[in-house]
Every structure is written in structure tokens, then in C-alpha cells.
Amino acid sequence: MHASRISRCARRGLVAVVAGGSLLAALNTASPAAASTASAPAGGSKVVCTSEKSGLAPKLSQDIAAALDGRKGSSALAVYDRPTGTVCRYQAGTHFDSASVVKVTVLGALLRQAGEAHRHLTPQEAHWATAMITKSDNASTDALWHRIGTAGFQRFLDLAKMHDTVPGKGGSWGLTQITAGDELTLMRLLTSENAVLSASDRAYALDLMHRVERDQQWGVPAGAPASATVHVKNGWLPRATHGWRVHSVGAFTGNGHDYGMAVLSHGNRTMKDGVAAIEGAARVIQRDLAETGQ
């Protein structure tokens, strides 16, 4: 599927990455160790981590809390790492204006809608999808948002179990209300076998996220190991209230890596402040996961 957009060889390789990641996760979690939970306070809330890897939950919770505590504005975070059975959450149910990170959900809804109609994406849809993800092109997103329709977008949210996400009204896709928890659910969906998106659809979406333009590759990839394949989408939006919304979501695959994260923020004085906050949290997560020898 989608032969008009990526070569068969490239697609087969990406499908293998997705399938391989799922197989690796299954092998690593076949006989899980007893999970431990730890928490650490940050900004009036708590970072809560659970892990099957000894010592990882307290380390992650403390390091993430230290990275987030004391910053101006509000933030939320969610992380998973399949090989170690790790999950971390910080205000993961809090709503934020989506800005451009919603574009990954728009892509998922488009792929699901095409799949249900038993058809390939049209060349025009493929062009829009590529520009929407790799360039964060707003005009392409407008076109796909209206083509999918509110009902089509909501159907994907329901199937994906992204129950806390509320579509923006009319053409205001950037004001869709999202949570870190739902964004992490989407990253999991893109990196494991499921009934919502086919293997070729998942590979296609991950490929586009891997090919995001260089100047938009900031955020959760900060500190990622060179051996990981990075798939990322960021969003940024200034408004009169709550200042800059700056968000980053991503998944990391290949060479034994199988993890993802979502970091959302608003109340940033500048976009640079938001990027710095996200990357501060991302770096400690990347470091702590790397030190586990996953």
C-alpha cells in the first residue's frame, strides 16, 4: 500500500521495523518481572513511574521531576519503554491546545478512512500528508481536515481509544484539545500491531515522522542515542492566554529501541523557553533509558 509515496523496499524495511519492534517487545515481556512504582513531586503534582527494571522507576521519576520542577507555565508528560515495561506519567490527563502535533492524528484518521474504503491514498492526499508531517504545512492540514470530516476524525479517536482528545471546532484543528496520555497512546499505536492501522499504514506514518525537516527535529529527540531511529512531530502556537504552546511527541525504534514520549507545555514566554523545557525532560529520559542497557 502507498506505493506512490515510498518504494516497496523502503516500505518493507519499515514494516519489518514495526513488526520487529512488536516481536522484541513480546519476547522481552514474555515473563515480566514484578513491576515497581515510584513517584517524585514536581510543580504541585507528581511524576509517577512504573517499571519492571529494577531501580529504573525511582531514577526516572526523580530525574524527570528535577527537569520539570520550578519552570514557569504548565507541562505534561507521558513515556513508555516496552523492553523494560516502563511507563511514566506527569499530569498526563491535562488538556492543552494541540497546535501542530494533532497532524499525526489527522494522518491516522486519513489512513484509517482510506483503509475502510479499501483504497489507496490519492496522489493529492499523499502530497498533502507528506507536506503536513514533514514540513508541518498548515494549508495541507486544512485540506485533509475538511476531507476527513469531524465524523471521520472522531471515529479514529474512538477506535484508537484516545478518549480524552476533543476535536477543534470548525476548521480549528490547532485548537483540538489533547493530553499527553492520549498522544502516548497514539505513539504506541504506530509502533505495535493493532486492528486500527495496518502494518503498511503504520510504516508510512513512521516514515513521514522520520523525514521531518531538520529545523523541526527538536524536542523529544534531544539526547536520543545514535542507534535509535527517530520519529517526531512538534507543535508550537502563541495565543493571548497561556503564552506559547510548545509540544513534542515521538517514537524511537530499531536496534532494540522501542519507546516513545509526549511532552506538552503552555505558559511559555517564548517558543525557545518551551523547547528548552521539553528538551530538558527528554534528555534525562533518554539518558536513564540508555543506562538500563535496553
Residue-wise pLDDT for 94-105, tens only, equals 999 999 999 999
Q: What percent of the chain stands above pLDDT 90?
A: 85
Residue-wise pLDDT for 124-161, tens only, equals 999 999 999 999 999 999 999 999 999 999 999 999 99
Q: Rounded to whole angstroms, how far apart are CA atoms 263 and 268? A: 13
- The pLDDT of residue 4 is above 60: no
Report CA dihedral (54, 60, 65, 66) to the nearest 10 degrees. Answer: 110
- The pLDDT of residue 31 is above 70: no
- The pLDDT of residue 50 is above 80: yes
Question: What is residue 72's predicted lDDT score, i.e. its pLDDT?
Answer: 82
- The pLDDT of residue 49 is above 70: yes
Residue-wise pLDDT for 53-88, tens only, equals 999 999 999 999 999 988 888 999 999 999 999 999
Question: What is residue 26's predicted lDDT score, i.e. its pLDDT?
Answer: 45
- The pLDDT of residue 188 is above 50: yes
Record the pTM: 0.89
Question: What is residue 33's predicted lDDT score, i.e. its pLDDT?
Answer: 64
